[in-house]
Amino acid sequence: MTSDASGYEYPDEAGYPHGAGTLDEGTARPSDAEKAQAAEADTAEVELDEFAMSDEEDAEGL
């Protein structure tokens, strides 16, 4: 962040003060909670796909 003679502080290039808009670009390691949430989401996706396929098979009479 930069400032001028009047003391006004200009935000960084992304428009966020004090670098709040920077991304970690994958350098941060996920926490255990984030890993658990991702695994739960993957499981839910698989279950939904299986349900959708079984429902489609029922509609087609297979």
Name the residue type at position 13: E
Provide the domain limits for residue 51. Answer: 2-60
Sign of the Cα torsion 47, 48, 51, 56 reads: negative
SS3 of 9, please?
A: strand
Q: Which two tokens stand for residue 29?
A: 């390691």
The reply to whether the predicted model has a pTM over 0.75 is: no
Give the tens place of pLDDT for each residue, 41-55: 999 999 999 998 887
**Overall number of domains in the chain:** 1
Q: Residue 52's pLDDT is what?
A: 87
pLDDT tier for residue 36 given thresholds of 50, 70 and 90: very high
**Cα–Cα distance for residue pair 9/3, rounded to 1 Å:** 4
